[in-house]
Each structure stands twice: as structure tokens, then as C-alpha cells.
Amino acid sequence: MNFSYKIEDLNRVATQILKEANSKYILFSGEMGTGKTTLIKELVKLLGSENKVSSPTFSLVNEYEGENDGIYHFDFYRIDDEIEAYDMGFEDYLDNQHYVFIEWPEKIPNLWPEHYTYIQLELNEDNSRSLSLNEF
């Protein structure tokens, strides 16, 4: 699935992602400022969470309660290597049935779940975003 969208289309885009994704493990890739955290905020809201969503850049993970599931939101931008993810117990978060949203998955290439949805975001010149969604 590939398309472009504007910020006012965010609810529709997030709804489509939840409909299309074959996995609760969703990896978000894209340069700084492409809208990864903004998109995750909308997904968390659609999953029924009333929590205030923010980027877990410094804490590495934020946990939210959705209507039917827990939601783990990881941001690995600031880690130096995969050992830091191991040290925080990242693999334990993959052992349950909750949603797991991962920003900067490139930082932990050997720790990706076996099956996942991969979202690539790009910022376009007109300030819209291009999104590609692939299943693995």
C-alpha cells in the first residue's frame, strides 16, 4: 500500500493502517520530521487510549492502555547499539499480544519480530507525507 496524505487526513490514514496491518508489531521508518510520532499519536487514540501520547525519545518506551489492548511505543533514535535495547528488556515486550509501535527500527535490525508491518514515511516538498506499508 502506497499513498500520500496531508495532516488533515491523519485520522483516515491511521484508520486504514489499523485495517490493513496484519500484525500488532508496527515499525515506523523515516527521517526526523516525517511524522512518525504524530501518526502514532493518532493510532493510539484510535485504539481507545485516553493517555497523552509523547515521543519516548529519552525513556525509550511509553506504555498506554487502549480499549482492548496495551500499547508499547518505542523510540530508538538515541540508542547507540542493540545492547541497550536488550538491557531494557525489549524482547520481553514482544512476548505478549499488545500493540508494539517502534520508531527508528534501523537501530535494532537484529531484534525485529518475526512478523511485522513496516511503514516508511517521507516528507514531500508540499509538506504532505508519502507512506508505504509492507507486511513481513
Percent of the chain with pLDDT over 90: 90
Q: What is the pTM of this model?
A: 0.95
pLDDT of the residue at 57:
74
Distances (CA, A) of 109 to 4, 62, 65, 122: 26, 20, 27, 20
State the pLDDT confidence band at 77, using cuts at 50, 70 and 90: very high
Pick among 3.40.630.30, 3.20.20.210, 3.40.50.300, 3.90.260.10: CATH of 2-135? 3.40.50.300
Q: Domain segments of the chain: what residues? A: 2-135
pLDDT of the residue at 112:
95
Helices (H), the chain: 10-20, 36-46, 82-87, 90-93
20-56 pLDDT, tens digit per residue, is: 999 999 999 999 999 999 999 999 999 999 988 888 8
Residue 136 makes CB contacts below 8 A (sequence gap 6+) with 115, 116, 117, 118
pLDDT of the residue at 56:
83
pLDDT of the residue at 19:
97
Identify which of 85, 90, 43, 39 has the alpha carbon closest to the alpha carbon of residue 64: 43
